[in-house]
Structures are given as C-alpha cells and as structure tokens.
Structure 1
Amino acid sequence: MIAGLALLLAAATPVPPALTVHSERFFHGEAQALVAASDDIRLRFPVRSLRTSGRWQVCSEPRLKGDCVELEGDYPVEAGLGMSFSIRSLRPIPPGSGAGASAPTMAPGGASLTGVTSRYWPAPTYGSERVLACPRGEPSRNCAHDTAEDLCRRAGYRQAEHFQLEDVGGRLMLSDVLCVKGAWGVTR
C-alpha cells in the first residue's frame, strides 16, 4: 500500500521546467541545459534543435525583448522555431498563465466549428493554454487584432473577421474568434 501511495505521489509531482539546447539538428552535438530564467544568456553555440519540459518563453534579445516565442515540446530542427533563431533571454511559463506567442509552426486548437469558408473558436488554445489577447505587452484592441489575425493565418485562413476579449482570472484572452478564407459571400 505504501509503494502504491509513493507511485501516486511521484506521478502527481510535476516535472521541473528545463530547456535543453543542442548544437546540431535532431538533438545531436553539444548540449546545454537551462533550468531557470535569465535576462541575458550567452550560449556556447548556435541552437539547431531543442527539447523542453514545461513551457518556456525565449527571446532573441536580452530582458525578454526582440522576437519572442513560446516553446513546449521537442524541436528537432531549427526551422520549427520559425526564424534564424538565437536565444538571449528566457523564462519558464507557469501552467495556467495563458499561451503567448507560440512557435510559428503551432496551429491553434480547442473546440471549433468549421464551415465551408470559415472556422469559429469560442476559446482558442495553443497546446493546453488559452490564447492571450496580447502576448507581448499591454492588452489593446489593436494588439488583440494582430493576435487574432496570426491565429487565423496559422489555421490556414485569410483573416479574423471577428473576435472578443475575455477576462479570465485577470488576464485578457481571445474568445469568439471567427476566421474566414475569403470575402463574405464568395466561395472558392
């Protein structure tokens, strides 16, 4: 019985966040493990692949500035990161904090309704987290519009025709996002 309890406790213990970068594709070459936030990090080599446990925000400039993306999972080649990628600052993202700017190859998820030329998400997600209205700063309608447009393009649609902002625990998230392929009334 004690062994069973120990197994249950071990299964419930979350894995601490870690980000391991590799100098070669497919997790080969030199490796460097990163386990804490850093405002200005200098890696020993260019990143060609990486693995994460937990979610991480990584940025191309010090102090979480520049091009920033949210990473979760394995990236066997740097092309999956969406840019000529260099990491200069990073931080682990706690669960439940909402999704920021995810890697460009990540498509939106969550329950949705798909029509002939449109798709509607009442509460879009990236991975298991709701999409923040403005992942790179203070929430504004313009920033949320850009986030909704990016979400629609990632899903293969031309634009966001409609979206709303929803307060979830003091954070503004995208909701009621309607993506369309073309002009209204025109099917292709």
Structure 2
Amino acid sequence: MSAIVAALSSSAAGASESSEPPVLVMYEKVGMSGKQVTFNGPVADIDVRYPFHSTTIKSGRWEICTRNDFKGACMDVDAGTEIVSLKKEFGFFARVRSLRPIEEAAPAAALAEAPTQPEIISAPVIAAAASADDAPVQPVASAEAVLRGHSAHFFKTPMFNGKAIDAGDKGAAKDFCREAGFDEVEFADSVLSEGRRVVGDLLCTDPLVSP
C-alpha cells in the first residue's frame, strides 16, 4: 500500500502568513503511539485501514466525528489537547471517520469534489498485509452486556478478528485489554463454545495513559 499524499486546502493557502495552519496528528494506538497520520485540512471520508486510538492537536481547533461527512458523534478539540484513548471518549465500537478544522468548515458537497487527504509521516511506509495473519488485530466484543465505567470495561465473549479468545492462552486476554486501552485483566472466566474453552466474561481495568 503506497503512502497517502497530503494536500493543503485552498482556504489554508489563503490564510495570513502570521496565523499558524491547523495541524492534527492521529495515532494507531492508545497513548499517542504506533503509526502516525497527520492532517492539515478537512477530510470527509478517512481512508486508512486501521482505526485511530489517540490524537494530538498540534494547532488550530478541530471537529472530530465518528461518521463520514462530519456526522455522527462529534467532538470539538483545541490546540494542545491530547486524547490518549479515543474509544474512551466515543465508545468502544466507534471509529473516527471524518474531521476538519472548525475555522475551515465547508459544506460536505464541496469537500466531496476535492477532499483533502492525510499524509502518512511515520516510517516505514505501510505495506499491504502478506496474509490474514499479518493484518492488525482488532478487539471486538459481543453487542450484549457490555458495561463501561470510568476506569474499567466489561466484555461478554470478547473476540479478536471475529474469533473468540482461547481460554488456554494466558496472554490473549491481556492483549485484548491492551488493544482496548486498558493495562490489566481484573477478572476472566471461560465458557464452552463449539467444543473448546474460550474467554466468556472479561473485565479490563487500569486505563493506559502513556505509550
């Protein structure tokens, strides 16, 4: 997969030389770590294959939304803001899909004609996965009985990429919690599913606050 090339919006080009252009950096993992994607203009449909888990607002004021065309749940954030876990702000199943500098907010129809694209600034350049095993693991939980608190999250039958977690793999439950933005496994039990033991109830605690 080739790197995505960024283009400055025309409105930013017309801004005064003394004003600092808006810049926002999204990160692949919680705590501002992993691959980085830098945005300097509005993007109505973010085309990056992995979800963002944290962000830093370098300059300007931004609107971040969970649906395309700046819809869904949206958040306004100012320069200097760091969000260590976007899923704690928007919910575990949400994903940032559009964003824009508030000063440069434009109608969605105009953005569709000439969308600004983000720039991959981290090295090495992202390459397509050689196989399904190489693809990044994404935590998913059953839609039933998911309970979220300030410093803990309960999951019923959590899954990695559509597969229930093997109860015999002692590190898998903690890996799931870390992908979800938590550092510890407070409680985990097992259930029998299709002839094998898998993690049934999982309680993750201690939010990650640094990479």
TM value normalised by structure 2: 0.36
TM value normalised by structure 1: 0.40
Q: Which has the higher contact order (CA 8 A, sep 6+)?
A: 2
